[in-house]
Amino acid sequence: MYIVIAGGGKVGANLARTLLRLDHEVTLIEQRQDRYEELEEELEHQVQRGDATEIYVLERAGIARPPDLVLAATGDDEDNIVICQIAREKYGVPKVIARVNDPRNQPHFDLLGIAPTVSATSNIMALVEHEVPQHGLIHLLDLKTENLEIVEVEIGEGSPSAGKTVERLKLPSDSRLISVSRDGQAEIAVGSTTLKPGDRVLAILKPGREDEFRRALLKH
């Protein structure tokens, strides 16, 4: 693949190194002269100096080919938004990935349709939520290789899911119910299984989805 990376900080530079090791063609764009010189010693012609929100800088980096992927990894969210918009809408780059530095700017990325985005704060928060035991959700098993986990919940009297069939639940996309235990008897959860208060439900989901999952099943 041909990949253009905007921003040669720790994130951008390490992405460039990794992608080059995987035999991709990479151009890294870095604005600061001192940082550029450091990178240039290592990456030679694969790094260019300039402001990646300037159209002529992007063109010099081959944005018109267009690249298969543009990674907007600068430390400024407004710059990352503009880079993605120019790449996608002016040059038809099929895929962009943007770094979000300040999670308060996430709504701007969402509003302007820039996805996927990566934010260190949000990722760490998802892990924190995963580690901290949460009311109503018992963590049973981590499937490390699959990056999935199995949890158990008990359906309460006032749960929005009580009295509903499994197919009518608005579960997060990365989750499935496995089984429903009632009066010591367990059954595989299918679309037509109706949940009742007191049921113990096993579910499989992606780490980080716990909160959404709990909301769908346990509280309004």
Partner 1 sequence: MKAVVVGCGRVGSRVARQLERSGWDVTVIDENEEALARLGENWAGGFIVGHGMDLAVLREAGIDEADAAVVATNGDNTNLVIGQVAQQRFNINCVVVRILDPARAEFYATRGLRTVCPTSSAISVLTEAVGSCGVPTRERVTA
Q: What residues make contact with partner 1 under the rule CB under 8 A? A: 53-56, 76-79, 81-82, 86, 89-90, 104-105, 107-108, 111-112
* Residue 155 near residue 162, CB atoms below 8 Å: yes
Toward partner 1, which CB reaches closer, 79 or 149?
79
Choice between 104 and 168, CB closer to partner 1? 104
Closer residue to partner 1 in complex, CB, 22/111 = 111
* Cβ neighbours, 10 Å, residue 212: 16
Minimal distance, residue 122 CB to partner 1, in Å: 17
Shortest Cβ distance from residue 53 to partner 1 (Å)? 5
- Could you tell me the smallest distance in angstroms from the CB atom of residue 12 to partner 1? 17
SS3 at position 5: strand
Q: In angstroms, what is the minimal distance from the CB of 96 to partner 1?
A: 15
Encoded amino acid at 208, one letter: G
- Residue 130: CB atoms within 10 A of its CB come to 17
Closest CA to 13 of 55, 63, 73: 73
